[in-house]
């Protein structure tokens, strides 16, 4: 189980790959060392043998068979251990002089090199050892074999090869152990993320991924995931808040509607009274429906689904239309309405929604400003401002009023659903803009930016 999991782990597989690459590199490095030591040593042996042959060939030319035999004999005497091998034979390979009994049976290679085994004459129990020799044919058909025992060379070669095998084995073992350790520590961090995710999925939304405190990539991942979770939780709370509010805000009109319907069940009612009560009930239902419509509209706009109606919009014309539509309403309420629509930029927008947003702001300004006050629609660039001389909104409530159904205590009894500003914000954000409320001294200033 555990092994299978380890093999599936991405970090462990990376460690394994790393181990192979590292092991390969070490093998190449050791190969070079081998070539640089053993190779050079055996080349030296070959050079010595060739120099020896060259010297003996010269002596043969100068002093003939007898002379060379004497030299060889002399050399053998000086080397009782038999580190150097000499054998001079006649053309029929019968030995004339030398420390070998017979011509070695091994076949020489193209250059005349022969590798063969020797037994130490001084110690017959010792295991045979390797020697390397070269055959040279002297003038007159005599065969000369000059060689060296390569016991030392072989021993060195053995040592180096052994060291290399162990070196690679240790390297691989260390890399593997490191890989497992690394993958374990990474897996632990990922496990903690997974565990937190599972906890959250099973409903514990307050869980957060613990940070290691080192500020590494895992900590950054944890931070980002935590920030994402915070955002989701915020949205969830917003949603819960909205549903609470829907339940609360719609319970009252629904109860009223229910009451009105019950009132109809009264045999003593005159036809006119009955019609009046039916009308009132229908009006109540219509109010409820318009609230639902407004909610759905906001949701749709927030989901960004309305961009299909985007087109080039003459913003100035839309604003003039709003001013024209609302000016009579303001005047009827005894307000001074003025509009200053300057050099506004034309935008790609949903004309109806922009109209609705500015209309909502204007409507609010007119609704909350007492008679004798003023409402001004001002626009320049991509900024539309609706300012009034009304009671304003306390600074700490200027963000809350954009929440669905949020209404200030003092305006609870004014008509409206508490959705107007939520819609304005949704429209603004759909158009890559925003809306905020500012102090107008006296009154309130709503600043809407689009695009």
**DSSP codes of every residue in 199-215:** HHHTT-TT--PPP-SS-
> In this chain, which stretch among 97-105, 115-123, 174-182, 325-333 interacts with other proteins, using CB under 8 A?
325-333
Instruction: Using the minimum distance from each CB to other proteins, give the nearer residue, 306 or 398.
Output: 306
Rounded distance between C-alpha atoms, residue 230 and residue 222, angstroms: 12
Task: Identify which of residues 25 and 290 has a Cβ nearer to other proteins in the complex.
Answer: 290
Q: How far is the CB of 220 from other proteins (least distance, A)?
A: 41
Judge whether 74 and 97 are in contact, CB under 8 Å: no
d(CA 421, CA 271): 41
Cβ-contact 112, 134 below 8 angstroms: yes
Site for other proteins in 98-157 (CB under 8 A): none
Q: Which is nearer to other proteins, 19 or 354 (CB)?
A: 354
Give which of 331, 413, 340, 406 is closest to 366, Cα–Cα.
331
Q: Which is nearer to other proteins, 316 or 325 (CB)?
A: 325
Dist. CA 380–CA 359, nearest whole Å: 17
**CB 140 within 8 Å of CB 65:** yes
Tell whether residue 297 is a contact of other proteins (CB under 8 A).
yes
Radius of gyration from C-alpha coordinates of the chain: 51
- C-alpha distances (whole Å) from 397 to each of 270, 363, 409 are 48, 19, 11
283: left (phi over 0), alpha (psi -120 to 50) or beta: alpha
User: Looking at beta carbons only, is 60 or 337 nearer to other proteins?
Assistant: 337
Tell me if 129 sits within 8 A of 154, measured CB to CB.
Answer: yes
Instruction: Name which position in 151, 367, 378, 403 contacts other proteins (CB under 8 A).
Output: 367
Q: Count residues contacting other proteins (CB under 8 A)?
A: 34
Can you tell me which of 157, 207, 208, 306 binds other proteins, judged by CB under 8 A?
Answer: 306
Tell the smallest beta-carbon distance from residue 373 to other proteins (Å): 16
**Which of these segments, 45-53, 139-147, 414-422, 438-446, binds other proteins (CB under 8 A)?**
414-422
Give the number of other CB atoms < 10 A from CB of residue 144: 23
Task: Decide whether 75 or 367 has the Cβ nearer to other proteins.
Answer: 367
Decide whether 114 or 359 has the Cβ nearer to other proteins: 359
Q: Per DSSP, what are the bridge partners of residue 447? A: 385, 436
Distance CA 446, CA 436 (A): 6
The Cα 211–Cα 193 span in angstroms is: 10
Among 321, 398, 411, 436, binds other proteins (CB under 8 A): 321
Q: Which is nearer to other proteins, 42 or 287 (CB)?
A: 287
The reply on whether position 246 binds other proteins by CB under 8 A is: no
Furthest-apart CA pair in the chain: how many Å? Answer: 160
Cα separation values, 85 from 77, 115, 352, Å: 12, 12, 109
420 forms part of the interface with other proteins (CB under 8 A): yes
Residue 32 binds other proteins (CB under 8 A): no
Q: How many residues are listed for the chain in this entry?
A: 451
Indicate whether 351 belongs to the interface with other proteins (CB under 8 A). yes
Nearest CB to other proteins, comparing residues 82 and 420: 420
326 touches other proteins (CB under 8 A): yes
How close are the terminal C-alpha atoms of the chain, in Å?
57
**Piece in contact with other proteins (CB under 8 A), picked from 20-28, 141-149, 214-222, 327-335:** 327-335
Cα(123)–Cα(84) distance, integer angstroms: 16
Q: Is 413 in the site for other proteins (CB under 8 A)?
A: no
CB-count exposure of residue 35 (10 Å: 0-12, 13-18, 19+): exposed
From the CB of 425, what's the least distance to other proteins, in Å? 15
State the binding string over 275-294 for other proteins (x if CB under 8 A, else -).
Answer: ----x--xx--x--xx-xxx
Q: Does residue 355 belong to the site contacting other proteins (CB under 8 A)?
A: yes
Query: Closest approach of Cβ 348 to other proteins, in Å?
Result: 15
Closest approach of other proteins to the CB of residue 321, in Å: 6
Q: Is 416 in the site for other proteins (CB under 8 A)?
A: yes
**Position 332 contacts other proteins (CB under 8 A):** yes
Q: CA–CA separation, 418 vs 245, rounded Å?
A: 10
Binder to other proteins among 90, 230, 324, 410 (CB under 8 A)? 324
- Which residues here bind other proteins, judged by CB under 8 A? 279, 282-283, 286, 289-290, 292-294, 296-297, 300, 306, 308-309, 321, 324-326, 328-329, 332, 351-352, 355-356, 359-360, 363, 366-367, 415-416, 420
């Amino acid at each position: 189980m555990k092994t299978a999991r380890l093999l599936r782990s991405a970090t462990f597989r990376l460690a394994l790959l790393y181990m192979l690459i590292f092991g390969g590199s070490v093998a190449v490095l050791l190969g070079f060392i081998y070539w640089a030591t053993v190779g050079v040593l055996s080349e030296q042996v070959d050079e010595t043998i060739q120099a020896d042959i060259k010297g003996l060939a010269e002596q043969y030319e100068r002093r003939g068979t007898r002379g060379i035999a004497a030299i060889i004999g002399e050399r053998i005497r000086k080397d009782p251990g038999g580190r150097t091998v000499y054998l001079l034979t006649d053309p029929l390979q019968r030995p004339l002089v030398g420390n070998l009994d017979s011509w070695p049976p091994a076949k020489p290679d193209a250059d005349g090199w022969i590798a063969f085994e020797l037994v130490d004459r001084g110690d017959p129990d010792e295991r045979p050892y390797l020697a390397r020799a070269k055959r040279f044919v002297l003038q007159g058909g005599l065969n000369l074999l000059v060689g060296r025992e390569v016991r030392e060379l072989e021993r060195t070669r053995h040592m180096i090869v052994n060291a290399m095998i162990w070196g690679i084995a240790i390297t691989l073992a260390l890399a593997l152990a490191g890989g497992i350790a690394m993958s374990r520590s990474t897996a632990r961090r990922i496990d903690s993320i997974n565990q937190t995710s599972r906890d959250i999925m099973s409903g514990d939304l307050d869980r957060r991924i613990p940070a290691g405190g080192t500020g590494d990539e895992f900590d950054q991942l944890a931070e980002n995931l935590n920030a994402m979770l915070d955002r989701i939780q915020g949205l969830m709370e917003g949603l819960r808040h909205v549903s609470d509010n829907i339940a609360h805000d719609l319970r009252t009109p629904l109860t009223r509607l229910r009451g009105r319907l019950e009132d109809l069940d009264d045999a003593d009612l005159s036809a006119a009274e009955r019609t009046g009560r039916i009308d009132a009930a229908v009006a109540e239902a219509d109010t409820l429906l318009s609230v639902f419509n407004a909610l759905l509209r906001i949701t749709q706009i927030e989901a960004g689904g309305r961009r299909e109606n985007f087109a080039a919009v003459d913003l100035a014309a839309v604003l003039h239309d709003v001013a024209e539509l609302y000016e009579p309403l303001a005047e009827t309420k005894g307000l001074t309405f003025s509009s200053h629509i300057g050099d506004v930029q034309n935008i790609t927008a949903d004309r109806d929604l922009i109209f609705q947003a500015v209309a909502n702001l204007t409507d609010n300004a007119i609704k909350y400003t007492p008679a004798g006050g003023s409402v001004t629609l001002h626009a320049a660039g991509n900024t539309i401002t609706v300012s009034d001389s009304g009671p304003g909104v306390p600074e700490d409530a200027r963000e809350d009023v954009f929440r669905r159904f949020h209404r200030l205590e003092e305006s609870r009894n004014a008509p409206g659903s508490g959705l107007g500003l939520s819609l304005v914000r949704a429209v603004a954000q759909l158009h890559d803009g925003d809306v905020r409320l500012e102090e107008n001294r006296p009154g309130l200033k709503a600043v809407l930016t689009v695009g």
